[in-house]
Structure 1
């Protein structure tokens, strides 16, 4: 692809998956390889600038700088450019941390930077402040405006990140400032763009996945492809212009995504609010007619999944059949079965739950359905305990029993990739929370509140205090576990959970509140039809997400190839 073709298709390329980010990377690569703006034979060569600088002795010589070897040169640069060590053209300074034990060194008027501040990109202010005494009694120095800063270490992606300092400030020892002694010939903005273009290369010097930091010697020995000063100005102006265009494209895409999300939500809300069959059919037709527009990215499919679950528990996903035995009869049978279990001393008689009031029912149910308190459908609702509280130790699998914690309970599925085991005596101490196959498990503490799955194993197991065990009446043709699982993962049940959670030191659900969850209960045969339909539609959602993800991945690979070819990143090292 020719460079002219690239610029002619700039906006089209931006619409590719992750397109704007790739365009930004491409712009920087073109800039530092001399391919973004034309060269001018009348420009004073970069080599002459460097000679003048060295003769003027404005940069302090250091023995830390290593001579450039030919095998280091990563790619060819245009005539008039020169490969140089960063420390040969910019002065390097770092800072320090005044003693934290001396309060007189802190909260003064001098801005003091830490590594995380570079994530601003352009630094106009910071939170850190030190006093004149803190400055005088440490190795801190005041850095001038237009210093280029690089983080030597820091959390996540911070190491190797660069920023432009637009104020005077001091810094700590996790930053190095690169200061141009001659801004007319060595433009800080060009160095900023160059280092951004080489972000991954710089991180890889100490190992991208390792936590070893950079240091001043490494920074000083970084190779810089230096253009003539006039070309530096042209590059900076061109990069600024194209980055502004990227900002505009990004903002436009964000508005487009937000508009699509609003359209999607409105269409689904109309579907959920439909009362008559004709309204529902019209709402579904609107979604079908605009399906490719509404669901063109994997992240949009999540809203469709939630709508399917909501429609399911509202009785709008499958047709009702007047010949089905109504839910009111199911409830009578469930109550009779519970009385049998009490009589046989298999469960204890529970305190009767109050009837469901009109205001507790969030929507009207179809004929044959019934609202029921969850506790009235169950023989047991309980939670486990902490092994530490009971003096029980974690052990190897062969010496213990499986122990389920909130980490193992996902939405719909158990995650037992890293199972835990506790001493067998835990079951003797906490017999009530010993699991049986087909028990429903629900997370009731912390950020994972509401994640619900079925314990589908035969292994002897127990649970901790962050997991609730819900054991429904286990008799054929009364309750369909798949339907109940869909209900627990539906938006309406999730809203019950968050409305009822107790927020003290850590958000949690009580057993009493869980037992009072109102459950929209269909006839048993309709429970089965709903569960089958939801599973079918969720499978279609899985396929749609997978197809969209593959399409995105293909688009990203194509965009990466465009970046590679246009920027010349495929050219061989000398």
Structure 2
């Protein structure tokens, strides 16, 4: 180990360094500082020519164009400071703690960013950047605070760094760049495979709900009933449920909406069209009661619980007091939930089906619509595939309206959505094939995730070797 002297010079470190290297505290390798925020109530402080970066704009690479620029008056009227090109920046607060960047122009930052202008006789900016990247987890582990953890300049300055001569630093940084580029190429290839997997999944569902997937099955099998026969049974059940409601005695049965067949594409032999209204016996909106993570009242499903055709019971919220659901209003098998209002056109119309009963009486939020479906378990699984398919998505996109930045999907539109209904035997064949293919794809996705974790580990291993002196 290097000889321990004063804090202004070399210090002891946790491992033995090669000849010519030394340990030093970070406060000795450059000039440190932090930024500030001009008063947001003073318009003349903003809209100038000085790039002003916030911690969220630090993304472990050289800084790009800022979202905000400030004026010279804004700089002088705050604790913001001009930072020269080539400074290393690190986020100190919140979710971005430890994120890094290197300044590429004269700029300023807010107070959530610390900066170090390296002493060129001791350290290069990129060597310091990579070292801070290598100890990020260590810094985050020492972060103070609860909801907004933070690290301080004092904590940063007291860290120690192994310093080789400048020439060796340049060689180390060059080798890190080479190896990281190779890993990046591998990650790009993985991303392409993930994209291909997502495309394949959409194609699988489209083939399933259009009959392409089971064309060979139809050629080899004569179904015992048609899709129209299956629909007739569902409609009979629908009518029986309506007749069985005491509130409907003496009333005329409202016929469900039928599909406009003339405007719909052709279907395989034995299939027929139905509407969501024909396949459901009840519909309505959820509760607007305020919810929290406290397990005080009734569990409530929200938009995050509506995923890929089947509801998720993860991360539930709860009403402050239990809801009265003893009249059969609680969620049950066959309930279809659809996002009816949202600011994202990706989330609007997302749908999921309850295929297993929740462990306790559960309800849903008001920005979801519920349709209570009819049919056998196989029919419900068929609908779960359908609502996750490009065909259902196309119906959603044709039906949404937008207002004041919000997308909306009405119940009256959803009830008209056309649904292909195959014979029950073919539904069983479709479900079997799709689930088998999805299981194989899930194994492939797990392998991709493992490869992604491996690349992260590789980067850390490379950095560890670099700062031990083992890389070049």
**Residue of structure 1 equivalent to 2:421:** 521
1:46-105 deviations in whole A, cap 9, x for unaligned?
99xxx9xxxxxxxxxxx9x578664xx122222222222232342233333333343343
1:499-553 deviations in whole A, cap 9, x for unaligned?
322333432321111111111111222223323333333334344444x258638
Hey, what's the Cα distance between the residues in 2 that align with 1:222 and 1:173? Answer: 21
Hey, what's the Cα distance between the residues in 1 that align with 2:179 and 2:323? Answer: 66
**Residue of structure 1 equivalent to 2:313:** 416
| Secondary structure class of the residue paired with 1:375 | coil
**Residue of structure 1 equivalent to 2:400:** 501
- Counterpart of 2:366 (choices 462, 465, 489) is 465
**Residue of structure 2 equivalent to 1:310:** 206
Deviation at 1:173, TM superposition (A): 2.8
Please show how residues 170-319 of structure 1 align to structure 2 within 5 Å: 170-180=108-118, 183-184=120-121, 186-206=123-143, 211-228=148-165, 232-237=166-171, 239-240=173-174, 243=177, 246-247=180-181, 250=184, 254=188, 256=189, 300-318=196-214, 319=217
Deviation at 1:368, TM superposition (A): 1.0
**Residue of structure 2 equivalent to 1:79:** 19
Deviation at 1:367, TM superposition (A): 0.8
User: Cα 1:179–1:490, aligned 2, differ >3 Å: closer, same or farther?
Assistant: closer
TM-score after normalising by structure 2: 0.78
Please show how residues 329-348 of structure 1 align to structure 2 within 5 Å: 329-345=229-245
Hey, what's the Cα distance between the residues in 2 that align with 1:393 and 1:170? Answer: 39
The structure number with the bigger radius of gyration is 1
- Contact preservation (8 Å) 1:97, 1:173: yes
Hey, what's the Cα distance between the residues in 1 that align with 2:80 and 2:303? Answer: 47
Please identify, of 233-242 and 377-386, the stretch whose mean Cα deviation from structure 2 is larger. Answer: 233-242
Hey, what's the Cα distance between the residues in 1 that align with 2:137 and 2:411? Answer: 51
- Counterpart of 2:354 (choices 454, 457, 466) is 454
Deviation at 1:185, TM superposition (A): 5.4
User: Cα 1:531–1:216, aligned 2, differ >3 Å: closer, same or farther?
Assistant: closer
Quick check: 1:383 aligned with 2:323? Answer: no
Quick check: 1:358 aligned with 2:262? Answer: yes
| Secondary structure class of the residue paired with 1:250 | helix
Q: Which runs of 5+ in 1 are unaligned?
A: 1-32, 34-45, 52-62, 262-296
User: Cα 1:562–1:381, aligned 2, differ >3 Å: closer, same or farther?
Assistant: same
Please show how residues 77-226 of structure 1 align to structure 2 within 5 Å: 77-119=17-59, 121-123=61-63, 125-151=65-91, 153-156=92-95, 158-180=96-118, 183-184=120-121, 186-206=123-143, 211-226=148-163
Deviation at 1:369, TM superposition (A): 0.8
**Residue of structure 2 equivalent to 1:4:** none
Structure holding more helix per residue: 1
1:255-289 deviations in whole A, cap 9, x for unaligned?
x567xx5xxxxxxxxxxxxxxxxxxxxxxxxxxxx
Q: Which runs of 5+ in 2 are unaligned?
A: none
1:140-167 deviations in whole A, cap 9, x for unaligned?
443333333333x1443x3333433332
| Secondary structure class of the residue paired with 2:277 | helix
Hey, what's the Cα distance between the residues in 2 that align with 1:482 and 1:87? Answer: 62
User: Cα 1:145–1:221, aligned 2, differ >3 Å: closer, same or farther?
Assistant: same
Hey, what's the Cα distance between the residues in 2 that align with 1:244 and 1:395? Answer: 50
- Contact preservation (8 Å) 1:405, 1:463: yes
**Residue of structure 2 equivalent to 1:38:** none
| Secondary structure class of the residue paired with 1:111 | strand
- Counterpart of 1:370 (choices 231, 251, 272) is 272
Please identify, of 507-516 and 245-254, the stretch whose mean Cα deviation from structure 2 is larger. Answer: 245-254
| Secondary structure class of the residue paired with 2:14 | coil
TM-score after normalising by structure 1: 0.66
User: Cα 1:420–1:233, aligned 2, differ >3 Å: closer, same or farther?
Assistant: same
Quick check: 1:539 aligned with 2:439? Answer: yes
- Counterpart of 1:512 (choices 404, 407, 412) is 412
- Contact preservation (8 Å) 1:148, 1:179: yes
Hey, what's the Cα distance between the residues in 1 that align with 2:454 and 2:292? Answer: 51
Deviation at 1:421, TM superposition (A): 5.2
User: Cα 1:508–1:233, aligned 2, differ >3 Å: closer, same or farther?
Assistant: same
- Contact preservation (8 Å) 1:372, 1:520: yes
| Secondary structure class of the residue paired with 1:173 | coil
User: Cα 1:453–1:213, aligned 2, differ >3 Å: closer, same or farther?
Assistant: same
Hey, what's the Cα distance between the residues in 2 that align with 1:552 and 1:82? Answer: 36
| Secondary structure class of the residue paired with 2:38 | coil
- Contact preservation (8 Å) 1:402, 1:462: yes
